[in-house]
Amino acid sequence: MKTLIQNIFSAKNEKYHKVITILGMKIKLFHPKSDDLYYCPICKKYGHFTQMGVKPRFAVKCPNCKSLERHRFLYFIYQKYFLNTQKQIKILHTAPEKCIYNLIKKNPNIEYTAIDISPERYSFCDCKKEDVTGLSFADNTFDFVISNQVMEHILDEKKYLLELTRVLKPDGTFLLNFPVFMNQEKTFQDDSITTPEDREKNYGQNDHVRAYGRDVFSRFKKEYGAKVIFAKDIFNAEKIHKYRFLNKGKDFCVIIQK
Ligand SMILES: [Zn+2]
């Protein structure tokens, strides 16, 4: 009972908390929506955006297609690279986001493959079971690999990067995104931290295995020739507001050319 009361108390103190779980039941407390209307380029609609996240971020989720700020930013990157392609191309998508899947599937020129270690989580598409550190695909198979919010779950970062690059065609492009603590210079990883509680405390989420700091960008440039594009590099303040990017440097895409 004490825990129950603590749960309710802490949830009510959390300004943007939306749902709490008590005895297995999900209870909706708040559903704050933005007063402002923001524009989602993915579903092409204006809406009052809602909150999202373990530490809730206010007004970031499109009420229609459920896109978050990073998906809306990646839409522009994917549009530049492949969404309207007239050529026949092959794309590999890890841990597929539904809003991005829906976009890609509109183009019949794209042969699309979705994969995840737990494919049952993705009932909206034909998702195959694959381990990103040991893929079953042949070398040089795909024109693009897209992988968002996966690398921070993988203990062997190098293997993940090498394996997803291996399956790219010689001129293929790897587009990835992952959480970075922009107020932290150095990436932190300690493999003796293994419990969900300790991972949450040290890395911000109970199934993350490291906390990336800003040094990841220079390291990836040096080690993989990666290019990094931030929302703030290509959009002015008006667009950043319109699409509801948070403009804290987190909405970015890392591009590795094979
Ligand atoms: Zn939308």
Specify the higher pLDDT residue, 158 or 57: 158
How confident is residue 247, by pLDDT bands cut at 50, 70 and 90? confident
Rounded to the nearest angstrom, the distance between the alpha carbon of 43 and the centre of ligand 1 is: 4
Lowest mean pLDDT segment, chosen from 115-119, 152-156, 232-236:
232-236
Burial class (CB in 10 A: 0-12, 13-18, 19+), 170: exposed
Mean of the per-residue pLDDT values of the chain = 89
Classified as helix, coil or strand, 250 is coil
Q: DSSP character for 151?
A: G
> How many angstroms is it from 98 CA to the middle of ligand 1?
11
pLDDT over 90, % of the chain: 78
Question: Ligand 1 centroid vs 64 CA: distance in angstroms?
Answer: 5
Least confident of 16-25, 142-151, 222-231: 16-25
> Is 123's pLDDT higher than 70?
yes
Distance 68 CA to ligand 1 centre (A): 8
3-class secondary-structure state, position 26: strand
36-95 pLDDT tens trace = 889 999 999 999 998 887 777 888 999 999 999 999 999 999 999 999 999 999 999 999
Instruction: State how far the Cα of 115 lies from the Cα of 117, in Å rounded to an integer.
Output: 7
**Average pLDDT of span 227-252:** 90
Residue of 222, 198, 217 lying closest to 209 (CA atoms): 198
pLDDT score of 106: 95
Ligand 1 mean position to 133 CA, how many Å? Answer: 32
Cα 154 to Cα 131, 136, 242, 246: the distances in Å are: 10, 18, 34, 26
Inter-residue contact 124 to 116 (CB < 8 Å): no
End-to-end C-alpha distance for the chain, whole angstroms = 56
Instruction: State the distance from the centre of ligand 1 to the C-alpha of 142, rounded, in angstroms.
Output: 28
Q: What is the pLDDT of residue 15?
A: 44
Residue 17: pLDDT over 80: no
pLDDT-derived band at 10, boundaries 50, 70, 90: very low
Model confidence at 32: pLDDT above 70? no
For ligand 1, the distance from its centroid to the CA atom of residue 1, given in whole angstroms, is 40
pLDDT band at 12 (very low <50, low <70, confident <90, very high): very low
pLDDT tier at 249, thresholds 50, 70, 90:
confident
Tokens of 250: 């987190």
Gap from CA of 102 to ligand 1 centroid (Å):
11
Interatomic CA distance for residues 73 and 155, integer angstroms: 27
Quick check: 29 pLDDT over 80?
A: no
Domains and CATH numbers, the chain: 1-31 (no CATH), 69-257 (3.40.50.150)
Band of residue 28 on the pLDDT scale cut at 50, 70, 90: low
